Structure 1
Amino acid sequence: MNYWLMKTEPSTFSWDDLVRDKKTGWDGVRNFQARNNLKAMKKGDLAFIYHSMEDKAVVGIAKITKEHYPDPKDNEWVAVEIAPEKKLKRPITLGEVKADKRLSEMVLVKSSRLSVQPVRVEEFDMIIALSEKKIKE
């Protein structure tokens, strides 16, 4: 199994939209590296859903339910189908990720603009563990 992070602007399509719709085609990606990542996804892989722009936080986990197929808007590109797996206990902000030295090599930190990116299993597990800890006040 592989792990991924998929960025979305919540005003366009949010975690709550995915939960409401129960599944969606993840299309509209127009970056060659992100397209290659979509092509590498396998059915059953898990992906963090990351709200970009306002929230800048990992908010949930989706499952890849259909491997890449031609993007319905442009056959030169590809899409995958995803379904919600589970919401994180609490969102993990980009600031928290950047502050944790164990996550310093994460693509989200090193190449933050990439809309579909791989996540190492250790990073995936660490983000989930962080979401289960309460924030110190």
Structure 2
Amino acid sequence: MPRWLFKTEPDAYSIDDLKRDGQTPWEGIRNYQARNRLRDEVRKGDKVFIYHSSCKVPAIVGLAQISREAYPDPTQFDPESPYHDPRSPADAPRWLRVDLRYLRHFPHPVPLSAIKADPALSDMELINRSRLSIQKVEPAAARHLLSQLE
């Protein structure tokens, strides 16, 4: 059962890119709450809804799985990276990432407009805490979303 929703901008990295790559490090998380979830709650084997944001039709577009639990994001130490953080000490890294493995595309993306209109999904963080890049998905909401795809 998917437990998480990870947001990505499809112009930067899409579900198609994840399918092509098979697996990828999910880097660039620079929000403390999202980082804490990676560190404290996200576990290998957890399923993840992939959500395309900042695009014409924001939508849940597929599924992935955590293939490696949280570890230091090396981009925080790379001055050439857009994710560089000069305040992050090498001996106590501030930022983490996980690795994701592609599972599948959804036959029909579930657009944000449909999620907002569905009373069964009214408690989703996607609606109530929309800016957070790593969001919890309660079991009932996950089952409801998956049932729409069958």
Q: Aligned partners of 1:89 and 1:3: how far apart in 2? A: 20
Q: Distance in 1 between matches of 2:109 and 2:134?
A: 18
1:66 paired residue number: 68
Residues 54-109 of structure 1 deviation map (CA, whole Å, 9 limit, x = unaligned): 13100000000000000111231000000111111210000000000111011101
- Bigger fraction of residues in strand: 1
Structure 1 counterpart of 2:145, from 123, 127, 136:
127
Q: Distance in 2 between matches of 1:113 and 1:84?
A: 23
Partner of 1:135: none
Per the TM alignment, residue 9 of structure 1 is displaced from its structure 2 partner at its CA by: 0.3
Structure 1 position 130, deviation (Å) = 1.8
Following TM superposition, where does structure 1 have runs of at least 4 consecutive aligned residues deviating by more than 2 angstroms? none
Q: Do the aligned residues in 2 keep the contact of 1:88 with 1:128 (CA within 8 Å)?
A: no
Aligned-residue Cα RMSD (Å) equals 1.2
Alignment of 1:63-102 (within 5 A): 63-74=65-76, 75-102=93-120
How many Å separate the matches in 2 of 1:17 and 1:62?
12
Tell me the distance in 1 between the aligned counterparts of 2:149 and 2:130.
20
Q: TM-score, normalized by length of structure 1?
A: 0.92
**How far off its partner does 1:129 sit?**
1.4
Partner of 1:18: 18
Q: Distance in 2 between matches of 1:117 and 1:83?
A: 18
Task: Please give the TM-score of this superposition, normalised by the length of structure 2.
Answer: 0.84
Q: What amino acid maps onto 2:27 in structure 1? A: D
Query: What is aligned with 2:37?
Result: 37
Structure 2 contact 2–49 (Cα < 8 Å) conserved: no
Deviation at 1:16, TM superposition (A): 0.2
CA distance in 2, matches of 1:93, 1:2: 17
Report the number of matched residues: 132
Q: Which of the pair has more CA radius of gyration?
A: 2
Give the superposition deviation at 1:131.
2.6
Percent sequence identity over matched residues?
45
Structure 2 residue runs without a partner (length 5+): 77-92
Structure 1: segments with no counterpart, 5+ residues: 133-137
Equivalent AA in structure 1 for residue 127 of structure 2:
V
Paired letter, 1:71: D
